[in-house]
Amino acid sequence: MSIVKDPSLAPSGRQKIQWVRDFMPALSGIEERFRREKPFAGLTIAVSVHLEAKTANLGLVLREGGADVHLTGCNPLSTQDDVAAAMADLGVDTYGVHGVTPEEYEDLLVETLKCRPHLIVDDGGDLISLLGGKCAQYGDRLIAGCEETTTGIHRLVAREKAGILPCPMMAVNDAKAKHYYDNKYGTGQSSWDAIMHTTNLMVAGKTVVVAGYGWCGKGIAMRAKGMGANVIVTEVDPFKALEATMENFRVMPMDQAARLGDIFVTATGCKDVIVRRHFDVMKDNAILCNSGHFDCEVDVAALADMAQENFPRRANIQGYRLADGRTLNVLAEGRLVNLAAGNGHPAEIMDMSFAVQALSLEWLARHKDTLEKKVYQVPDEIDDQIGRVKLAAMGLAIDQLTQEQKDYLAGWEA
């Protein structure tokens, strides 16, 4: 049933999967319990997340919980063909090929949904979009699902307001274990890991422009500053802009920052963040990349239209030579740079995020008879449980409130 590029790549993929499994202790603990309790017995789960080793581990954990798992990617350039081959070899129906066209990518999503899932794990809202449209017939058994990203949750909330949400959805991205840990520290490290590996250039001494100061932007700016960059932040939210200022970053509109930056990293979840008028004033050999979910933050199509020629410069770098002789460099086609040109978040980070996914799916399965078609927040008990498990895995301990302290915090008498 699987569709992968080359089954012979499976041994390399197995190595990657085993490596990350050794560094994901929270998920390992959940897997051990799932193996005993089988909370997903009789249920089919479709997973659309960046198809690499950490996602593969989540798929294996869900299968240990009794689920029939069907796995696909959520970005044409983030699928790792050896990991996809390994999962197919391990008996998980897997639909993923690196570098497919947008049409072929959607075909792979459709193939995944033909399993008629009871539960879904979505990343950016692709599965929900199909289940609410051309693949509605495959949603006849749908109970609920989880969404991994900020961008995806924006779309879920819009669907809920419009009354067209196909099923109850859990906003996994909004969990403390996800956005505090994954979005800030994961995106911060993995974005720079990909940028530095792809360009083989210094960060120290350069002017870095970070578009967006949400959790992802905070992590990107923090790591750039730590490596010696001069960091500029652009924002549309006055309080996020104030926060960036208080943390000693320069804040200005992109129209001003475009003239100053050596490296531009977008992390807004919006479109048209860097556009034609910005390309007009950028430095020769400026580097542009995106750490938001979709490839519309940097208007690469406009840049291509402006360019006299475009040409490959290194793997995952395309140069665009403009009429005045300047060259602008786009990493990973403007797609999610940390996955399209790198290995994504570190295993320890995704351990937290995917622990939230696994426990949220379990919660949804147990409460299926009482759920409405709306967006739910991750229960606090799931968040707290994962935080404590992670602390224990790191050999750390924290204080506990006494009952007297709990009463003091909850009461008004004192």
**Strand pairing category for 93-96 and 44-48:** unpaired
What lies within 8 Å, CB to CB, of 214 at 6+ separation is 150, 183, 240, 267, 268, 269
* Residue in 296, 211, 216, 206 with CA at minimum distance from that of residue 251: 211
Greatest CA span in the chain, whole angstroms?
73
Among candidate residues 15, 7, 20, the one with its CA nearest the CA of residue 50: 20
Q: Does 289 appear as a known binding residue?
A: no
149 is in an annotated binding site: yes
User: What is the DSSP secondary structure assignment for residue 282, as one 8-state letter?
Assistant: P
Residue 370, marked binder: no
Q: Which two structure tokens, joined as six digits, stand for 390?
A: 């992670």
Closest-CA residue to 166 (of 368, 3, 15, 372): 372
Q: Would the annotation count 395 as a binding residue?
A: no
User: Is the separation of the CB atoms in 159 and 165 below 8 Å?
Assistant: yes
E-strand stretches of 159-259? 169-171, 207-211, 230-234, 250-251
Q: Is 19 annotated as a binding residue?
A: no
Residue 186 known to bind ligand: no
Give which of 393, 387, 367, 348 is closest to 21, Cα–Cα: 348
Gyration radius of the chain over CA positions: 22
Q: Does the annotation list 73 as a binding residue?
A: no
Asked whether residue 66 is marked as a ligand-binding residue, the answer is no
Backbone angles phi, psi at 284, to 5 degrees: -60, 135
CA-to-CA distance for 295 and 269, rounded, in angstroms? 10
CB 56 within 8 A of CB 17: yes
Residue 179 assigned ligand-binding role:
no
Q: Please count the other Cβ atoms lying within 10 Å of the Cβ belonging to residue 238.
A: 9
Q: Is 118 annotated in some ligand binding site?
A: no
How far is the C-alpha of 206 from the C-alpha of 376, rounded, in Å?
A: 42
Q: How far are the Cα atoms of 46, 88, 99 from residue 4, in angstroms, in the given order?
A: 16, 8, 12
Q: How far is 245 from 232, CA to CA, in rounded Å?
A: 10
Is residue 42 annotated as involved in ligand binding? no
Asked whether residue 55 is marked as a ligand-binding residue, the answer is no
In this structure, the dihedral spanned by the alpha carbons of residues 185, 360, 335 and 183, taken in order and rounded to 10 degrees, is: -20
Q: Is 218 annotated as a binding residue?
A: yes
The annotation status of 50 as a binding-site residue, yes or no, is no
Ligand-binding annotation for 338, yes or no, is: yes
Binding residues: 149-151, 214-219, 235, 291-293, 338, 345
Binding residues for NAD(+): 149-151, 214-219, 235, 291-293, 338, 345
